[in-house]
Structure 1
Amino acid sequence: MSGGGLPVPASAGAMQDGFRSALTMGRARIRWVLVLAVVLSLMLLFAVFGSEEDSSTRLGRLHTSASGLLGLNGKVGSRPGPAGVAPGGLSVDEALTQDFDPWVKGSGRTNLTYHSHFNQDDLTLCEDECDAFFPGLWKEIDRSVEFFTKKQQYNKEYLEFSCDDGIWTHARVVIYNNRMYLKYYQQSDFTRSQAALALLHLAVSTSRERLPNVEFCMGMMDWGSRGKFSLDRAPDLEDVWLMPDYGWWSWPEHVGSYQELREKTARVEKEVGWAKKINKLMWRGSMRVGTADRESLVAVARGHDWSDIKALDWGDPSTQVSMEDHCRWKFHGFPEGNTYSGRLRYLQNCRVVIVTHEPRWLQHWTHLYNGDWKSPDQNIVYVPKPQGEGQGVLVHDGDGKASYDRTWERLPETMDALLADDAHAKRVADNSWTFFRERYVTPASATCYWRKLLWGFSKVQKYQVDLSGSETSYESWILKGMKGTHHRRDENESRNLSDAEEQELAKAASYEILRRATMEREP
């Protein structure tokens, strides 16, 4: 007894305790069931509305995730399938004796269009996505395929000639089973060759689709070289393959990582906006390369209120402007260098008006420029060609030889028209931003282009690619250099060129152009 109350049988007390315990456990289970229900609901919402992926594919993946979470395939946290089963539902024995293709065949996304959402930094886009998001980008690839189909057979003899034609070969590359190998490597000036190979390896290693087995050579000089994967070409040089510029990876000597540069330019653009930009034509650059074109620009712009054109002196900090701070001007003059100028893709990461002449050297995306003043899609401004007779301005080539040039003669009237119509100038800048920065010069576009280029090359390659064992995998090369004692990376570190070396480089470029203009096209 207790206190004067009635005695409680021991068995009844035990029953009450058991009931309370069961009730507590039941509530706990209910709470966990509710939590899991909320989690599964959120997963379902994200799966259904979060992407353009096929709904049956998403729901199937959701079922697998939910089954693992709830322990429907075993205990909570156990693997979702039976032990001893390899990917594809094969047993381990079957997987070891049968071929299993791990590569996807397309993205699985339906109804893809130019306007479908894509991540500009997504390096894993499949071919169908690349075709939808970057229409027209493959023009140079198609041109090269047509040339090497109709005019020049790309057989093993031609490969050997291309790789050893006396004009700098910096890498002989093999892509085999979606892996990258080097058969030969020669250090280029600066870090061009390392950056170009890093970009190619990025495109190969991030591919979700099978790539073709190919073998080719790359050249890093300022002009296209016969049969090679090259940085640029003159319009009449057909026997080259244009690859993305090394700067899509990094240009550490002057700019740094491409993706970091994009982040920096975005911050500047958010800070200044269009109205606060400096209302002048800006250019900073070396006079050691592309001397004639740059001298002409400087001379024509001199004395005008809209001009902020200055030669760059690396010893004078007052003449230097960081690449991201170029976004603070509305207008940018763009002369070429020895051949092309590497700054263009950086300027296209700013919301600016690029004022230039029609390109004399082509890169893999320059055909996308729209300089039509009457077009609502104009994304660049071309200075009109000179009219009538005129002397032009005094300029000098790389050898110091004097001549007169009229390329920039009509720049003043071009700038007057832009300054008089700010709405037109803003539209050109906005078009450049959305067309180039947001699409055709994104990291995603570069990896898409590289993979498309490999497939294009494979269509004309007339030899089988195999590994002999003497190749060096890219992963080993970046750590130790080439196998054996030759072409080690540390034997020739990148360096800046002296004035004399720059002049010799320009002479070599001129010689190559002349040689190609007079030589027979057959190997």
Structure 2
Amino acid sequence: MIDRPSLAAYGSNYGVFPTECNSKFLGLFKEIERSVTRQKGLGKVSPSAIDLSWKTYGAVRAMIYNQKLFIIEEKLDGKGYHSTRALAILHQLNRAVTTSLFLLPNIEFSFAVDDIADVSHAHHTIWAFSRLAIDDEIWLMPDFGYWSWPLELVGEYDQIRAAMRENEVEWDKKISKALWRGALKTNKQVRGALMRATRGKEWADVEEVTWKNMTDVTGGSAAAALPIAEHCAYKFLIHTEGHGYSGRGKYLLNCASIVIMHKAQWIEPHHHLLVRAGPHQNFVEVERDFSDLEEKVEELLQHPQRAEAIMNNSMAVFRDGYLTPTAQVCYWRQLFLEWAGVSSPPDPWEVVDGKNSLRGTPFETFV
């Protein structure tokens, strides 16, 4: 029987100290540690390094000062997804600040909200959702979905997690197929290969979903679209990258299912926690062309005990551990602390009409 403890039982506790975070989520901060090590070899991050003049849109410059969040500069389109993503990140930042039981350092930083933070890979220092291996100057942060993805098929993160738990079924009652839904055009090479590898296969439930705009699917594919929580009805969930990273991965890892992922190019903060083999295996990796997908699905179907063990490992590591809201707020605060150690402290004041004034717009006013 799938156990359904309340989310309060270490799902959404924001009043945690760094010692608790380090104890409960050992290894969570590997990406932050990588960035710190690199930066120490270069010297402190200067104010000019977080300048946004190179970025046309999709970024925000912000400051935390005296336990308050300020927006220094925003480059958002005002009507598209950049604004909703930026607000989701700012809400996460503000929650991490206002619920902290200890004093946070004063810092200034910039973050990007598009899928690919630095399309030219010109080595700008910025916080972002994901990076390629060559983007070693990028600091990784939790993405917007940990607050909310404002789509009818997705929604607010805690709400999704609650729906998944309440409707979760026992492993042997799940549909014994590999499920995927998504837009083909965002990565025709990888997703097209998936479509070809699964066409006509009894073990696969793979369909394209086409979008009319950023929030609505077209009439022809609306029936194929599945709310993210309903993915959990399947034993196997296929995760693919888009034109950059794909934000659906964390949702799939919240299901009591097995995530099957092709060899990834884009790195997210939790990717180092994925174990591809051995007694602690918690996902299944396949080639980028899915040439071995059928073989690996058939193997899982033929060895149900091994499959269930992979699923249980996944739940323990991701759903009940490193992808909880508590883990995410731990990550944010560790990011603040470590960034403060390798960056120049902010100058919070500026002269306006002959008087000293705090720089930027308070979060409460901005939103």
TM-score (norm 2): 0.88
CA contact (8 A) 2:43 2:342 kept: no
Task: Write the letter of the residue equivalent to 2:347.
Answer: V
Q: Secondary structure at the match of 1:319?
A: coil
Given that 2:175 and 2:235 are in contact with CA atoms closer than 8 Å, whether structure 1 keeps it comes out as yes
**Structure 1 unaligned residues grouped into runs of 5+:** 1-116, 386-405, 479-523
- Which of 1 and 2 has higher RCO (CA within 8 Å, sep 6+)? 2
Paired residues of 2:148 and 2:156 also in contact (CA < 8 A): yes
The correspondence for 1:229, drawn from 124, 127, 139, is: 127
Tell me the equivalent position of 2:283: 380
SS in 1 for 2:185: coil
Distance between the aligned counterparts of 1:470 and 1:414, measured in 2? 55
> Would you say 1:201 and 2:109 are equivalent positions?
no
Deviation of 1:283 after TM superposition, in Å, equals 0.3
Percent identity at matched positions?
Answer: 32
Native 8 Å contact 1:172 1:183 kept in 2:
yes
Local SS of the residue matching 2:365 = helix
User: What is the deviation of 1:463?
Assistant: 4.0
Match of 2:235 in 1: 330
The offset of 1:449, in angstroms, is: 0.2
Q: 1:425 to 1:141 in 2, by over 3 A?
A: same
The residue aligned with 1:412 is 294
Q: For 1:274 and 1:474, how far apart are their aligned partners in 2?
A: 44
Which residue is 2:144 aligned to? 246
Equivalent of residue 466 in structure 1, options 326, 348, 353 = 348
Partners of 1:419 and 1:359 in 2: how far apart?
A: 24
> What is the CA–CA distance in structure 2 between the aligned matches of 1:224 and 1:238, rounded to whole Å?
12
1:416–1:152 distance in 2 versus 1, CA, 3 Å: farther
The 2-side partners of 1:355 and 1:423 are apart by 17
1:88 is matched with none
Corresponding residue number in structure 1 for 2:190 = 293
Q: Which amino acid aligns with 2:62?
A: V
Residue in structure 2 matched with residue 343 of structure 1 by the alignment: 248
Residue 214 of structure 1 corresponds to which residue in structure 2? Answer: 107
| Amino acid paired to 2:30 | K
- Secondary structure of 1:318's counterpart equals coil
Seen in structure 2, the aligned counterparts of structure 1 residues 164 and 152 have a Cα distance that, compared at 3 Å, is farther
SS class of match (1:317): coil
Give the Cα–Cα distance (whole angstroms) in 1 for the partners of residues 296 and 347 of structure 2.
Answer: 53
For residue 153 of structure 1, report the CA deviation from its aligned partner: 4.1
- The alignment partner of 2:172 has SS state of coil
The structure that is helix-richer by fraction is 1
Show the 5 A alignment for 1:105-504.
119-151=10-42, 153-160=44-51, 163-166=52-55, 168-187=57-76, 189-190=80-81, 191-225=84-118, 226-253=124-151, 254-269=153-168, 272-313=169-210, 314=217, 315=219, 316-372=221-277, 375-383=278-286, 385=287, 407-468=289-350, 469-478=358-367
Gaps of 5+ in 2: 1-7, 119-123, 211-216, 351-357
Contact 1:213 1:465 in 2 (8 A): no
2: CA distance, partners of 1:470 / 1:409 = 55
Give structure 1 regions of 4+ aligned residues with deviation exceeding 4 angstroms.
none
In 2: Cα distance, 1:181 partner to 1:169 partner? 17
* Distance (Å, rounded) in 2 between the aligned partners of 1:167 and 1:291: 26
> Take 1:286 and 1:344, find their aligned partners in 2: how far apart are those partners?
15
CA contact (8 A) 2:63 2:346 kept: no
Q: Does the aligned pair in 2 maintain the 1:224–1:234 contact within 8 Å?
A: no
How far 1:260 sits from its partner (Å)? 0.4
Compute the displacement of 1:235 (Å): 1.4
Does the CA-based 8 Å contact 1:335-1:356 persist in structure 2? yes
The 2-side partners of 1:450 and 1:364 are apart by 11
Looking at structure 2, the residues matched to 204 and 465 of structure 1 have their Cα atoms a distance apart, in angstroms, of 19
Residue type at the aligned position of 2:166: R
TM-score by length of 1: 0.62
When the two structures are aligned, how many residues end up with a matched partner? Answer: 335
Q: Shift in Å at residue 152 of structure 1?
A: 5.8
Q: 1:181 to 1:324 in 2, by over 3 A?
A: same
CA RMSD after TM alignment: 1.6
Q: Is the 8 A contact 1:294 1:335 kept in 2?
A: yes
SS at match of 1:180: strand
Question: Higher strand share goes to which structure?
Answer: 2
Measure how far apart 1:145 and its partner are.
0.8
Query: Does the 8 Å CA contact 2:111/2:128 hold for their aligned counterparts?
Result: yes
Distance in 1 separating the partners of 2:17 and 2:339? 18
| CA distance, structure 1, for counterparts of residue 291 and residue 135 of structure 2 | 28
**How big is the shift at 1:118?**
6.2
Residue 178 (structure 1) shift:
1.1
Shift of 1:156: 2.2
Structure 1, residues 129-180: CA drift from partner, whole Å, max 9, x if none? 00000010111101111111113641123233xx222353521100001110
Structure 2 distance, partners of 1:240, 1:437, is 26
Query: Distance in 1 between the 2:132 and 2:56 partners?
Result: 16
**Residues 440-473 of structure 1 deviation map (CA, whole Å, 9 limit, x = unaligned):** 0000011000000011111111344323334111
Distance 1:169 1:336, change over 3 A: closer
